[in-house]
């Protein structure tokens, strides 16, 4: 009975995703020489620039190694490689293959199975973090550079939040101002 329930939930959510996802993030992209990609996002088809995704050095393309490996969908502790990745992102319910595509290692995939390029990973994040994606698209969530009345440069979610452990890391603050009494 339990499995039956899950199946239905999964099917309905997949259907909803399939129906609404293309409406939510219709986007086009072109690349320039620096690897920055031009995206048109949102209802107003606003033009934004996105830098390339923050891959760990010399590790992409994933298929470089994974192409010759057997697909093991078993949830397990990684010991031979990627042991530096500590999943702290709803780790009880998530596993690598929820976001990474098992068949096409160089792509991500949405809950509905639709392949997503690393350059557009915000589409993947936005499945769960809908309000954040909406704010990000409107320019409210995340850092903006560029021009307030023209072309803006956005960052991908993964530039600030490690997708495997997304909580923003603490940092050392810059020194405080001097107290008036200590100024000579």
**Which residues make up the interface to other proteins (CB under 8 A)?**
44, 135, 138-150, 160, 168, 170-179, 183
Element (H, E) at 8: helix 2-24
Cβ atoms of residues 168 and 141 within 8 Å: no
Decide whether 60 or 166 has the Cβ nearer to other proteins. Answer: 166
Dihedral angle, C-alpha 10, 112, 162, 86, nearest 10 °: 50
Which is it for the CA torsion 122, 24, 108, 97, positive or negative? positive
Decide whether 76 or 170 has the Cβ nearer to other proteins. Answer: 170
- What is the Cα–Cα distance from 32 to 34, expressed in whole angstroms? 6
Decide whether 75 or 172 has the Cβ nearer to other proteins. Answer: 172
β-bridge partners, 41: 46
Decide whether 93 or 149 has the Cβ nearer to other proteins. Answer: 149
Decide whether 83 or 174 has the Cβ nearer to other proteins. Answer: 174
Min dist. Cβ of residue 49 to other proteins (A)? 14
- What is the Cα–Cα distance from 57 to 36, expressed in whole angstroms? 18
Query: Which DSSP state fits 51?
Result: P
- What is the Cα–Cα distance from 162 to 166, expressed in whole angstroms? 5
């Amino acid at each position: 009975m339990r499995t039956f329930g899950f199946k239905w939930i999964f099917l309905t959510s997949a259907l909803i995703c399939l129906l609404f996802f293309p409406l939510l993030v219709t986007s086009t992209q072109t690349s320039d020489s620096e690897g920055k990609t031009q995206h048109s996002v949102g209802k107003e088809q606003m033009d934004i620039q996105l830098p390339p995704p923050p891959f760990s050095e010399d590790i992409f393309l994933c298929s470089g190694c994974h192409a010759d490996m057997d697909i093991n969908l078993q949830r397990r502790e990684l010991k031979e490689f990627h042991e530096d990745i500590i999943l702290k992102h709803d780790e009880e319910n998530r596993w690598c293959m929820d976001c990474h595509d098992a068949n096409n290692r160089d792509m991500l995939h949405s809950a509905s199975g639709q392949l997503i390029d690393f350059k557009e990973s915000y589409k993947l994040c936005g499945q769960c973090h809908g309000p954040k994606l909406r704010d990000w698209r409107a320019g409210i969530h995340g850092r903006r550079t560029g021009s307030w009345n023209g072309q803006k440069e956005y960052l991908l979610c993964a530039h600030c939040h490690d997708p495997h452990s997304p909580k923003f890391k603490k940092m050392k603050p810059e020194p405080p101002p001097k107290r008036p009494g200590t100024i000579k």
